[in-house]
């Protein structure tokens, strides 16, 4: 299923994110559970990669390490040539806020904030307190544009509890995009949604990729969802064991 021409095209792109020999063990009382063992993955600029594997295989852990939400026990995480694991805590926090956009299965919207405020939050956090008001106006304009594109302009003042699951996830996608991230990391973004609504969310993500060149790493256990990506990688026994191009409409892409 690997097409040499497409593989050559990927190799010609610059690596955006490289995970090298990643180990991760969790300590549950006296028990040690090693979830990642020498895992490696490269994501290129403008690429949409789906990470699949059985429940409990370590997919979410690998995604969290890729986005500097968790640290690895061993290995390196290179982002545009910089080793994230060697950065100071402050530098990692800033990189995580600016370079990565996160979309989670459970949305993680703040219930006390409106839709507009939830979307603006990462951009406001990015600015020092004394520049927050200066940053607020362009940040608000971008948030409004994103919500317009995602069909949520009439939900600006609503709280998350007043939205459907699909609307909450679209708000989460807008929030992930507010800082124009280099890479969107989506962890089972359709897991809490019915198939029709889930497909709507996937259409949003694939649209961002095809129309805007957004780089995406999507975690899923559903191979049909994964097939909408440029490339599928499989995590098994703590390692990436398969690297295949997805097939759509009967043709290798």
Q: Among residues of the chain, what percentage have pLDDT more than 90?
A: 69
Q: What is the pTM of this model?
A: 0.87
pLDDT per residue over 196-233, tens digit each? 999 999 999 999 999 999 999 999 988 889 999 999 99
pLDDT category, 241, cuts 50, 70, 90?
confident
> What CATH class does 47-60+88-246 carry?
alpha beta
pLDDT tens column, 171-198: 999 999 999 999 999 999 998 899 999 9
Split at pLDDT 50, 70, 90, the class of 252 is very low
**CA nearest neighbour of 107 among 28, 188, 34:** 188
Residue 160 pLDDT greater than 50, yes or no: yes
């Amino acid at each position: 299923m690997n097409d040499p021409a497409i593989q050559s095209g990927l190799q010609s792109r610059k690596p955006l994110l490289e995970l090298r020999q990643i180990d991760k063990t969790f300590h549950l009382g006296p028990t040690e559970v090693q979830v990642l063992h020498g895992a490696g993955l490269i994501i290129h600029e403008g690429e949409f990669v789906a990470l699949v594997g059985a429940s409990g295989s370590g997919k979410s852990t690998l995604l969290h390490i890729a986005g500097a939400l968790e640290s690895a026990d061993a290995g390196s995480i290179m982002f545009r040539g910089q080793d994230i694991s060697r950065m100071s805590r402050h530098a990692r926090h800033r990189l995580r806020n600016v370079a990565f956009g996160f979309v989670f299965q459970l949305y993680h919207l703040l219930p006390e904030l409106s839709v507009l405020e939830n979307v603006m939050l990462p951009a406001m956090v990015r600015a020092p307190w004394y520049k927050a008001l200066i940053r607020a106006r362009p940040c608000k304009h971008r948030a409004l544009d994103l919500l317009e594109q995602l069909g949520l302009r009439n939900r600006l003042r609503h709280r998350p509890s007043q939205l459907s699951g699909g609307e909450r996830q679209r708000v989460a996608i807008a929030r992930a995009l507010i800082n124009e991230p280099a890479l969107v990391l989506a962890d089972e973004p359709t897991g809490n949604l019915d198939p029709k609504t889930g497909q709507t969310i996937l259409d949003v993500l694939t649209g961002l990729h095809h129309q805007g060149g957004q780089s995406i790493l999507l975690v899923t256990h559903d191979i049909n969802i994964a097939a909408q990506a440029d490339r599928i990688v499989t995590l098994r026994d703590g390692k990436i064991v398969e690297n295949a191009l997805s097939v759509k409409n009967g043709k290798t892409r």
